[in-house]
């Protein structure tokens, strides 16, 4: 398998603790590199980057613990676009160490965590989905 890049975005609203938003991302992604972009209209943007399949290990384990692999497979397949896979997670639930898939807008007043996985080969997005959601 070739290179896998994971890119995560989460808004930080003025009422939120930036460390909690960071922790929410750390609960789903292994060893990310963080950056906080300055506020635009009062909202900062936390971004995180990670490389390789191992960066998805926490997500992999959460999908098993939460027993939502079938639902996850459906949502991940819907988010597949060529070399990229995009999905959204509830920020508050992720902070608590759990998973809940979310809509891109309007589901949570504080916004979701946006996760994008990019692969060099479009076939690899299918392989990532299979690895994350396969049943044992």
Q: Quick check: 87 pLDDT over 70?
A: yes
Identify the pLDDT of residue 121: 87
Helix pair 122-133, 69-78: axis angle to 10 deg: 160
Q: What is the pLDDT of residues 5-19, one digit of tens each?
A: 999 999 999 999 999
**pLDDT above 90 as % of the chain:** 79
N-terminal to C-terminal alpha carbon distance within the chain: 21
Rounding to the nearest 10 degrees, give the CA dihedral for residues 93, 97, 102, 107: 10
Q: What is the CATH number of the domain that holds 35?
A: 3.30.1440.10
Averaged pLDDT score across all residues of the chain: 92
Q: What is the pLDDT of residues 22-75, one digit of tens each?
A: 999 999 999 999 999 988 888 999 999 999 999 999 999 999 999 999 999 999
Global pTM reads 0.92
Identify the pLDDT of residue 108: 74
Q: Quick check: 136 pLDDT over 80?
A: no
Identify the pLDDT of residue 40: 87
State the total domains in the chain. Answer: 1
Q: How far apart are CA 76 and CA 13, in angstroms?
A: 27
Which residue range forms the structural domain that includes residue 74?
A: 4-133
């Amino acid at each position: 398998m070739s290179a896998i890049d994971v890119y995560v975005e989460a808004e930080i609203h003025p009422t939120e603790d930036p460390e909690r938003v960071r922790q929410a991302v750390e609960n789903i992604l292994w060893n990310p590199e963080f950056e906080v972009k300055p506020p635009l209209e009062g909202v900062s943007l936390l971004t995180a980057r990670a490389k390789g399949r191992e960066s998805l290990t926490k997500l992999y384990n959460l999908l098993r613990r939460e027993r939502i692999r079938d639902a996850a497979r459906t949502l991940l397949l819907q988010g597949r676009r060529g070399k990229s896979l995009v999905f959204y997670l509830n920020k508050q639930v992720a902070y608590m160490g759990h998973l809940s898939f979310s809509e891109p807008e309007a589901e949570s007043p504080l916004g979701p965590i946006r996760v994008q996985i990019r692969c060099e080969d479009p076939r690899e997005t299918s392989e990532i989905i299979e690895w994350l959601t396969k049943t044992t």
